[in-house]
Amino acid sequence: MKEIYMPENNDSFRLSMQADCEQCFGLCCVALPFAASADFAVDKAAGQPCQNLRSDFRCGVHDSLRERGFRGCTVYDCFGAGQKVSQITFGGRDWRQAPESAKQMFEVFPIMRQLHELLWYLAEALTLPPARSIHDELRSALEETNRLTRLDPNALVKLDVAAQRANVNALLLQTSELVRDEARRKEKGPLKRQKTVGRGVDLIGANLRGADLRYANLRGAYLIAADLRGADLRVADLIGADFRDADLSGADLTGAIFLTQAQLNAAKGDADTKLPPPLTRPAHWPAFSKRR
């Protein structure tokens, strides 16, 4: 596995953090717990291999996860942490070959996942010209976070990830404000709002069909099962927004800030949903327009 590098092309950097299950020891299928629910068909304790995990660390029902009640598996994204822990932190020795390392490997994995998520956001922030005034700080934070991912297992389990997240989040918030403020200034004509929104707002099941949510702060918003068909979410800050079962059919997410593949995977959409690069249309979305 190639090490993550410090690129000038941050889109390439983010592509290098996509999950590569072929290089992972099935860590998300073992290390993480889940409970029987709409997302998982059965209960599973942390450290217990999923019943569908094969001896080669591949999923035995990968092609029919949703049909079998494992929708949560199709939503999850480790940001490349799985292959990093498997191939670099533990040097390619899996938890079956070296069972004495299993407990620590499973502890390290969620920590690495948080660090890789921060790398994803920082790399995106460095692609945004309006944030150029803090690019040096963002680059320093990216380099420091990347350094932390290379710590040995003993150091990683002792790492204060919350402190690192807090430091990075302050920069991401600055980035968001700079980007959204510049976009507003460039807007021609009056900017009408259909809904007052804000950080952490509860919009569960809300009717936001066709809503003008340009430049909105939707950090951590609860948008579970919200109707966002045809909504305009251009240059909205969507970091941490919960899109489970939200309908994004025909919505415009062009330039949306800090949107992740996992958020899209949790939502509904169609062929008319406009996405920012390098994100892709989830396989379970219909390939046709649902709008009439």
The pTM of the whole model exceeds 0.85: yes
Question: CB neighbours of 136 closer than 8 A, spacing ≥ 6?
Answer: none
Q: What is the CATH number of domain 192-292?
A: 2.160.20
The string over 227-253, giving b where at least 16 C-beta atoms fall within 10 Å of a residue's C-beta and e elsewhere, is bbbbbbbbbbbbbebbbbbbbbbbbbb
Span 210-253, pLDDT tens digits = 999 999 999 999 999 999 999 999 999 999 999 999 999 999 99
Closest alpha carbon to 43 in 69, 63, 21: 69
* Dihedrals phi, psi of 87, to nearest 5 degrees: -95, -25
Whole-angstrom Cα distance, residue 250 to residue 271? Answer: 7
> Mind listing the pLDDT tens digit for each residue in 93-136?
999 999 999 999 999 999 999 999 999 999 999 999 999 999 99
Closest by CA position to 277, among listed 12, 3, 5, 21? 12
Using the predicted structure, report yes or no on whether residue 277 has a pLDDT greater than 90: no
> In angstroms, what is the C-alpha Rg of the chain?
20
Closest CA to 257 of 204, 212, 219: 219
205 contact partners, CB below 8 Å, separation of at least 6: 224, 225, 226, 227
Residues of the chain with CATH 2.160.20: 192-292
**pLDDT for the residue numbered 3:** 46
Token reading at 80: 């490349």
Q: Give pLDDT tens digits for 50-71.
A: 999 999 999 999 999 999 999 9
* Buried b or exposed e, range 139-170, using 16+ CB within 10 angstroms: bebbeebbebbebebeebeebebeebbeebee
Q: 69-96 pLDDT, tens per residue?
A: 999 999 999 999 999 999 999 999 999 9
What mean pLDDT do residues 143-158 have?
A: 97
How much of the chain, in percent, has pLDDT values that exceed 90?
A: 83
pLDDT tier for residue 191 given thresholds of 50, 70 and 90? low
The residue among 285, 265, 257 whose CA lies nearest residue 273 is 285
Q: Which two tokens stand for residue 148?
A: 């932390």
Q: Residue 290 pLDDT > 80, yes or no?
A: no
Distance CA 161, CA 156 (A): 9
